[in-house]
Amino acid sequence: MTITARASDIEDEFAFLEDWEERYAHIIDLGKANEGLEEAEKTEESRVRGCASQVWMVITDSDDRISIRAESDAMIVSGLIALLIRLFSGATHAEVRSFDAKGFLDKIGVSGALSAQRSNGLASMLDRIQKSVA
């Protein structure tokens, strides 16, 4: 499945959520289902800087496709991570480079409802993903 197809599925899912409180609750539910990382993977190298909470992200590459696993100590950030994993894991490098993630997150009503600190953290996570395919 392409990023565009996954984004369309996620957009449909968020369209049923009437307000930010419902979106927030949904994102937290996504985070609760996130598998997280092994303790040994939570290193300074995997730590994402620029996030208000602790975030670790491991990105691997196989046959021009990325796989993302990540964890945070904050529930809302765990949900944002789960959303990014769902969107980008399995995508090709070209798809990741060409996809407008910020525009997509704005469109589904996520970006505009985050605090400045959470927005900076989300931008840092997106930057880490983009740099992995540069």
Active-site positions read 51
Q: Is 99 exposed, middle or buried (0-12, 13-18, 19+ CB in 10 A)?
A: buried
Helices (H), the chain: 3-15, 20-33, 75-88, 93-98, 101-107, 116-132
Q: For the packed helices 75-88 and 116-132, what is the interaxial angle rounded to 10 degrees?
A: 30
